[in-house]
């Protein structure tokens, strides 16, 4: 198996990306890791002669920054790391691409380079959100800010397959994000989507409200990209703000500092439970190839775990699975 890693994308690129790639190469010796980016910068981090044999480089001179217009940048910068890495998947030179760079650019590169799976109208960005009951899927978190009911139905199907194949959940509970529990609640999109979700062959458990998500009361949560993105970022912000506050408040006196020392391992356990890096990343769902999206602030551990996710996606043939399952969803698509 060959996995192309965009060495230049992400807040901590290329250093942390290369470190994660090295760890992955050491752990997965059956997997060839291809670092895509500026050779001199990558070599500098890789260092001397001690590199594993299954790590190599693919030169790409340009970088798409977080600030650039994604589609424009991808069209213009043909020699950017994300475009070159995605093209490797397209050409069969790699089985998957992993990137922590601009999500929009990664999506644009995938749509232009790999195309959509036939029958999927809009790809979705899925994220694994840490909850009290382990990681749960939320999609879409930003690929498609104005979705139609059919799109949400396709997300539900793809999310359900992903949860089963990659997260190993049997008969995953799929829920519709809404602002009330009854079928008739919500905005027009939710009201139109609910009856469609009842018809398709998934384990649909009805609506889920925001307050139930952190308790892990559904395995796959389906929503429009705009609200999913707000939900994801608000959760990250709130968790960050609370941890900052806790740090301040439990070290504000000498006595508290001593108490804090004792409970520190407990807080570390929580931070670990809530750490997205444990999940690495998740693939763009609905495109014709595996393109794993990582958090922009990914460090070594997240990149390593993202390679693990990419491996599982390839091994489980999960794109073929989506293709196979699609006909069962035709009723509601027409």
Residue 27 C-beta: closest distance to a copy of itself, Å: 29
b/e string for 49-88 if b means 16 or more Cβ within 10 A? eeebebbebbebebbbeeebebeebbeebeebbbbbbbbb
Taking a C-beta distance cutoff of 8 angstroms, is the pair 276, 302 a contact? yes
For residues 27 and 72, which CB has a smaller minimum distance to a copy of itself in the complex?
72
Catalog residues that contact a copy of itself under the rule CB under 8 A: 131-132, 142, 145-146, 177, 179, 186-188, 190, 209-215, 223-227, 229-242, 244-246, 249-250, 252, 255-256, 258-263, 265-267, 269-270, 273-274
For residues 142 and 286, which CB has a smaller minimum distance to a copy of itself in the complex?
142
Residue 121 C-beta: closest distance to a copy of itself, Å: 17
For residues 269 and 320, which CB has a smaller minimum distance to a copy of itself in the complex?
269
Residue 225 C-beta: closest distance to a copy of itself, Å: 8
Residue 213 C-beta: closest distance to a copy of itself, Å: 6
**Cα dihedral sign for 277, 215, 213, 218?**
positive
**Treating both helix axes as pointing N-terminal to C-terminal, what angle do 300-315 and 15-27 enclose, rounded to 10 degrees?**
50
Q: What are phi and psi of 134, to 5 degrees?
A: 90, 180
Strand partners, 291: 97
H-state helical runs in 250-290 = 254-273
For residues 263 and 331, which CB has a smaller minimum distance to a copy of itself in the complex?
263
For residues 57 and 260, which CB has a smaller minimum distance to a copy of itself in the complex?
260
How far does CA 107 lie from the centroid of its chain? 11
Residue 272 C-beta: closest distance to a copy of itself, Å: 10
Tokens of 16: 């942390």
């Amino acid at each position: 198996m060959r996995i192309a890693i965009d060495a230049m994308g992400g807040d901590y690129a290329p250093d942390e990306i290369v470190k994660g790639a090295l760890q992955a190469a050491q752990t997965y010796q059956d997997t060839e890791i291809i670092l895509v980016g500026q050779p001199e910068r990558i070599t500098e981090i890789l260092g001397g002669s001690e590199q594993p044999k299954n790590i190599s480089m693919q030169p790409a001179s340009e970088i798409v920054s977080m600030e650039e217009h994604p589609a424009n940048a991808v069209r213009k910068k043909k020699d950017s790391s994300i475009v070159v890495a995605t093209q490797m998947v397209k050409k069969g030179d790699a089985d998957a691409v992993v990137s922590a760079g601009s999500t929009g650019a990664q999506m644009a590169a995938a749509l232009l380079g790999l195309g959509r799976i036939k029958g999927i109208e809009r790809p979705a960005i899925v994220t694994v959100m840490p909850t009290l009951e382990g990681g749960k899927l939320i999609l879409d978190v930003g690929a498609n800010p104005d979705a139609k009911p059919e799109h949400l139905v396709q997300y539900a199907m793809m999310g359900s397959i992903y949860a089963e194949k990659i997260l190993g959940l049997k008969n995953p509970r799929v829920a519709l994000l809404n602002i009330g529990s009854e079928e008739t609640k919500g905005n027009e999109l939710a009201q139109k989507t609910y009856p469609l979700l009842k018809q398709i062959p998934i384990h649909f458990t009805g609506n889920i409200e925001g307050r139930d998500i952190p308790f892990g009361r559904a395995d796959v949560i389906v929503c429009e990209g705009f609200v999913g993105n707000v939900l994801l970022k608000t959760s990250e912000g709130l968790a960050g703000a609370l941890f900052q506050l806790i740090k301040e408040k439990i070290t504000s006196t000498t006595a508290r500092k001593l108490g804090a020392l004792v409970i520190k391992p407990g807080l570390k356990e929580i931070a670990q439970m809530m750490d997205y890096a444990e999940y690495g990343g998740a693939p763009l769902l609905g495109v014709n190839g595996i393109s794993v999206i990582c958090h922009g602030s990914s460090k070594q551990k997240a990149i390593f775990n993202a390679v693990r996710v990419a491996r599982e996606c390839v091994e489980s043939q999960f794109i073929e699975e989506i293709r196979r399952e699609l006909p069962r969803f035709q009723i509601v698509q027409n």
